[in-house]
Structure 1
């Protein structure tokens, strides 16, 4: 299997460890371990290796699915990876809506034939008809990320349902990475709850602020979940025991954690929006913690701009070119970090733009 280099992760590897501030992070500020019980007794495997049945049933209820239709994974990244291996082989075809997190198109492209369908700027609207036109007789899965990373676009319920129905009519699965869903003030229904052909992946990384747990899940038809579990035997075998233990506490405490995180997002969103207005920069008003911002004039694309920013004021941004050459006129800013760090980063960006 030949897979493309992960452009964004390679960018971070080059600059993140030496920079003062990370304004490209796509998650919410991290929670402290102090609020959780960390005592799990012996550190053996999670048994059964697909996850604690009662906890899987609790998560499955969010999708109107039983425990047998949920697989616990090491983050949504693994959930997506396993799902693609469960669904695709070299004779199959997939459609991926882009721009998106690179793993959502790079992994399918390493296995099968893939057609990308781009969202339409500046509103990053989803063209359901274009997705349908891209489907072939051997299309096994259509891939969506909602709310979208990097644009922050939240495709509405009606459009997602229309896309699901088009997939179901063609015996094609709709897989939706929904890691930012709970950060929306009014989350739409998850795709896995829409019917037989719906698959949802998610985690506690983004909405809960628990990236270090590396805990996620796949929810969907039992045949797909079972096939993904078979692939998991060759990756991580099971989720971590501490990860599952803490994740259950966080999900049980969702009514405390998620509203507080939404408040952080609201405050930080307004800081960034005011900054962009002051500097004449544009974005589609995002849901979640990512914004896709136009590169200021005078720079040779997103990598040139972001490289100069990190080298001159020690602030990391994400070049839009890392999401595909078509998006080199944008950069991603993440605003889920602690507010004081965001304010510091924006002040440095203000100084940088004043010099240029």
Structure 2
């Protein structure tokens, strides 16, 4: 076999002299080499291939409220279709500040302390890239939303993780105290927590806050599921004494209004003025969906861990005899017709999550019942 090389590609020829497709050298930056196609894409592709019910990725299979869609249509028809101010149009920033005051009691300056981004993932990236220098130490709580590690790697951060473990996924306080030091630049937290559904307790947050104040540490607080808090009131980290000036609070409209595909909403200040009854009905609806999934999973034979917020639940798959979470999820899709997400991808050490899988209940009740039915029919607990 002969080969010719150039600066940009390698061409090979088989024994018949026919050129094979060129092979290009790896061009991804070294800091991102470990990050492949996301697990959500992989599982969703398998779901389509096998006709499986997708209880993996956290997007609703039902539409958002009419008043939101009508507001968007109205804005488009009124000609609000050109460049907006980079950090948000004034009315929207004011509405964000008003909602934050109503929820947390904090008064923020809409012109100096509010920035509008295209979804919370952009807010996370902007915060990390804007405040973290190469070599800065950032603490995560594992398991964590997968974009955290990728974005921190882009910033050249030194990542340290503290693992939250079942059954209650509480913060190991002694480990936290040993981890936070003068070398720590920031702690990136998420409450209510994806993927576990845990809500940080006031005691946990007070201890974290005191450590951050003592060591002059920033907190990046991802609170996108704040309106999906079922068993306790959501606490915003910025509202704790001494934390306002060192906390960046990040939030989103997509989860709250079931419109996860909308990443630009600079004209939709009406959303922040939604009546309290909307949020009450939202929680009531999700509590009913959660009950269907949780009780169904327990009946099937999963060990299901408590979820106080978000629209996710974590379950132990080991009663069914598969070696790890990825193998179980592949089996679940191919043989049962239901999608879950393996949680090992949410840890710095994948071994910490190999026994756990994540399900979502942000689906209509008929879909949830059908998924449970399939699992009851085809999953068998090993005795």
TM (norm. structure 1) is 0.85
Question: 1-side partners of 2:124 and 2:204: how far apart?
Answer: 22
- Who is 1:265 aligned against? 286
- More deviation, 177-186/11-20: 11-20
Question: Where do 1:168-183 residues align within 5 Å?
Answer: 168-183=213-228
- Who is 2:260 aligned against? 211
- Who is 2:249 aligned against? 200
Alignment of 1:184 with 2:184, yes or no, is no
In structure 2, the residue corresponding to 1:140 is in which secondary structure? strand
Question: 1-side partners of 2:115 and 2:270: how far apart?
Answer: 18
Match of 1:162 among 178, 197, 207: 207
> 1:29 Cα deviation (Å)?
5.2
Deviation by residue 1:110-159 (Cα, 9 ceiling, x = unmatched): 32111111113221101244223223433211011111111111111231
Structure 1 residues not aligned, in runs of 5+ = 215-239
Given that 1:164 and 1:198 are in contact with CA atoms closer than 8 Å, whether structure 2 keeps it comes out as no
In structure 2, the residue corresponding to 1:350 is in which secondary structure? helix
Structure 2 residues not aligned, in runs of 5+ = 1-28, 101-105
In structure 1, the residue corresponding to 2:266 is in which secondary structure? helix
> 1:43 Cα deviation (Å)?
5.2
Question: 2-side partners of 1:50 and 1:77: how far apart?
Answer: 15
- More deviation, 43-52/202-211: 43-52
> 1:6 Cα deviation (Å)?
5.5
Alignment of 1:291 with 2:313, yes or no, is yes
- Who is 1:59 aligned against? 96
Given that 1:294 and 1:330 are in contact with CA atoms closer than 8 Å, whether structure 2 keeps it comes out as yes
Match of 2:298 among 252, 255, 277: 277
Question: 1-side partners of 2:283 and 2:178: how far apart?
Answer: 37
> 1:254 Cα deviation (Å)?
4.6
Match of 2:133 among 65, 73, 89: 89
- Count of aligned pairs: 328
Distance 1:331 1:98, change over 3 A: same
Distance 1:192 1:109, change over 3 A: same
Q: Which has the higher contact order (CA 8 A, sep 6+)?
A: 1
> 1:108 Cα deviation (Å)?
1.1
In structure 1, the residue corresponding to 2:379 is in which secondary structure? helix
Deviation by residue 1:2-23 (Cα, 9 ceiling, x = unmatched): 2223542342353244434211
Backbone CA RMSD of aligned residues? 2.2
> 1:46 Cα deviation (Å)?
4.3
In structure 2, the residue corresponding to 1:108 is in which secondary structure? helix
Question: 2-side partners of 1:29 and 1:200: how far apart?
Answer: 28
Given that 2:298 and 2:304 are in contact with CA atoms closer than 8 Å, whether structure 1 keeps it comes out as no
Alignment of 1:309 with 2:340, yes or no, is no
- Who is 2:123 aligned against? 79
In structure 1, the residue corresponding to 2:245 is in which secondary structure? coil
Match of 2:266 among 244, 250, 253: 244
Given that 1:99 and 1:119 are in contact with CA atoms closer than 8 Å, whether structure 2 keeps it comes out as yes
Match of 1:8 among 22, 39, 64: 39
TM (norm. structure 2) is 0.79
> 1:30 Cα deviation (Å)?
4.2
Question: 2-side partners of 1:34 and 1:57: how far apart?
Answer: 23
Which of the pair has more CA radius of gyration?
2
- Who is 1:331 aligned against? 357
Distance 1:254 1:170, change over 3 A: farther
